[in-house]
Amino acid sequence: MERTVRGKVAVVGVGETPYYKRGQAPDPEFKLALKAIIAACKDAQISPKSVDGFASFSNDRSDPSRLANALGCDDLRFSNMQWGGGGGGGSGAVANAAAAIATGMAECVVVFRALAQGQFGRFGQGPRSNVISGSGAFTVPYGLMSPAQSFAMKVTRFMHDHGVNQEALQAISLASYHHAQNNPRAVMHGRPLSEEKYNESRWIVEPFHLFDCCQENDGAAAMVLVPAERAKDFPHKPTYILSAVSGSHYRAGASVHNTPDYATSTFKTTVPRLYDMAKLGPDEVNVAQIYENFTGGVLMSVVEHNFCEPDGCNEFFTKENLTAPGGKLPINTSGGNLAECYMHGLGLNIEAVRQLRGESSNQVPDPDVSLVASGPMVTPVSSSIYGSEATL
């Protein structure tokens, strides 16, 4: 018997709050979560009371029981959190929700992420403490304190090994900002980026300029998932989950920069399972949303999802290749984490759905397959593939 979620679950509603610069949200984080869930239910034209499950990731603080109470849900059947991995859990939360529906544990699951860094601690900030324990004891005393620093080391190794130029990272940033100018939801809408502005921006840690780094934002996003047989009962063009996987390779969790496979975005063991479940290959993907904590992670993720050879990055990563509508592989068509919003990457999954609905602000012509890579360079990571009815 084949064990798979392929074609068994559909996304029928998506919703977001307005996105704010860190510290500028007018509402508490929990209220932001409720607003996004209500918006997704409205998009699906269902009552929030019919939701019977919640799935999130990265230690979201909005407790499912409390959400169910506030929304008036009739029956809470499923509540799930993807452990670890930060933004690497975005597609993992979708996978968990889809598994619950496919196995009959729930009928209507909301995948959500709410984030108000202005009200809590900041992701990416170095620890402020007189005592450091655990893996940080091996790095913090030497000044290695932030994700930017840690990931820069992996990216520098990859770029050195394969002769990758800075212009490849620049192209990723330029593409995201280009797409954001057509997306009124994007925080960077109306703030275009040029090559000159990119090059003149300050270094955060080489090889990352300011514009190679994701934003810090407040807001919330949500998706409504139901069994595939119900998909046509909803107002929007059905979007089906073809594949959703998570995981990491041998000793990826070695946390003091001593993992055996160092210069990786952590997708090498998950990608074969991703394509195998979806029953398609990278050549059939029309548009991709690739998580950008930093542009170097996008570079490595694209390679490990088999869209580009490691030694071909300088030729592949150009603004023309990465932008909609006519690029070889349009990526991050909403503006992504760099220029739309950093909602721990769940906005990328929503954009994948919008592309297949034909509702993107940077629409790819007639797509049938949309891919999301959630992560990278953390553990575990996750990926998902969404398809139109034609792919079933």
pLDDT digits (tens, 9 = 90+) for 93-114: 999 999 999 999 999 999 999 9
CA distances 257 to 141, 251, 382, Å, are: 15, 11, 21
Residue 236 and residue 41 in contact, taking contact as beta carbons nearer than 8 Å: no
Q: What is the pLDDT of residue 275?
A: 98
**Four-residue CA torsion sign, 152, 154, 157, 161:** negative
Collapsed DSSP state (helix, strand, coil) of residue 187: coil
pLDDT at 120 over 80: no
Give 362-384 pLDDT, tens digit per residue. 999 999 999 999 999 999 999 99
Q: How many CB atoms lie within 10 A of CB 385?
A: 27
Write down the pLDDT at residue 13: 98
Mean pLDDT of 38-66: 97
Of the chain, the percentage scoring pLDDT greater than 70 comes to: 98
Residue 62: half-sphere exposure toward Cβ, Cα within 13 Å: 30
Position 133 pLDDT exceeds 90? no
**Residue 192 in domain:** no
Q: State the average pLDDT over residues 136-141.
A: 85
| Residue 229, C-beta contacts closer than 8 angstroms, at least 6 positions apart | none
Mean local confidence (pLDDT), 20-37? 94
Count Cβ atoms below 10 Å from residue 26 Cβ, excluding itself: 9
Mean pLDDT (the chain) is 95
Residue 39 belongs to some domain of the structure = yes
Q: Identify whether the C-beta of residue 87 lies closer than 8 Å to the C-beta of residue 374.
A: yes
Cα–Cα distance for residue pair 56/71, rounded to 1 Å:
17
Q: Are 33 and 62 in contact (CB under 8 A)?
A: yes
**Number of domains into which the chain is organized:** 1
Question: What pLDDT, on a 0 to 100 scale, did the predictor assign at position 66?
Answer: 98
- pLDDT surpassing 90 at residue 178: yes
Supply the DSSP symbol for 62. S
Q: What is the pLDDT of residue 140?
A: 85
Candidate list 20, 198, 240, 342, residue with the active-site label? 342
Cα–Cα dist 166/351, whole Å: 27
CATH of the domain at 96: 3.40.47.10
Per-residue confidence at 121, pLDDT binned at 50, 70, 90? low
Q: Is 1 helix (H, G, I), strand (E, B) or coil?
A: coil
> How far apart, in whole angstroms, are the C-alpha atoms of residue 205 and residue 193?
20
Report the distance separating Cα 245 and Cα 342, nearest Å.
22
Q: Is 262 part of the annotated catalytic residue set? A: no
Decide if 189 is inside a domain.
no
Q: Is residue 141 part of a domain?
A: no
Q: Is residue 347 predicted with pLDDT exceeding 70?
A: yes
Q: What is the mean pLDDT of residues 241-266?
A: 93
- Mean pLDDT to the nearest integer, 124-136: 74
Q: What is the pLDDT of residue 127?
A: 64
The domain of 361 spans 9-121+213-391
122, pLDDT greater than 80:
no
pLDDT in the model for residue 234: 97
Sign of the alpha-carbon torsion through 270, 345, 354, 5: positive
Residue closest to 241 by CA, chosen among 261, 251, 226, 222? 226
- Tokens representing residue 357 in the block: 């609905």
* Long-range CB pairs of 100-103, under 8 A, 24+ apart, other chains included: 100/53, 100/55, 101/8, 101/9, 101/53, 101/225, 101/226, 101/227, 102/5, 102/8, 102/9, 102/227
Residue 130 lies in a domain: no
Tens digits of residue pLDDT in 197-221: 999 999 999 999 999 999 999 999 9
In a domain, 2, yes or no: no
- The DSSP secondary structure of 255-294, one letter per residue, reads TTS--SS-S--S-TTHHHHHHHHHT--GGG--EEEE--SB
CA distance 298 to 274: 17
The DSSP 8-state label assigned to residue 213 in this structure reads: B
- Specify if 103 maps to a domain: yes
Give the Cα separation of 227 and 357 in Å (integer).
18
Question: At a CB cut-off of 8 Å and minimum separation 6, what does 266 contact?
Answer: 88, 248, 249, 252, 375, 376, 377, 378, 379, 380, 381
Least confident of 5-19, 111-125, 131-145, 334-348: 111-125
Residue 132 has pLDDT above 90, yes or no: no
Known catalytic residue at 291: yes
- The mean pLDDT value for 128-151 works out to 84
* In a domain? residue 227: yes
Name the active-site residue from 177, 198, 240, 291: 291
Q: Give the whole-angstrom CA distance, residue 136 versus residue 139.
A: 5
Q: Compare 127 and 132 and report the one with higher pLDDT.
A: 132
Angle at 151 between CA 149 and CA 152, to 5 degrees: 65
pLDDT at 45: 98
DSSP state of 137: G
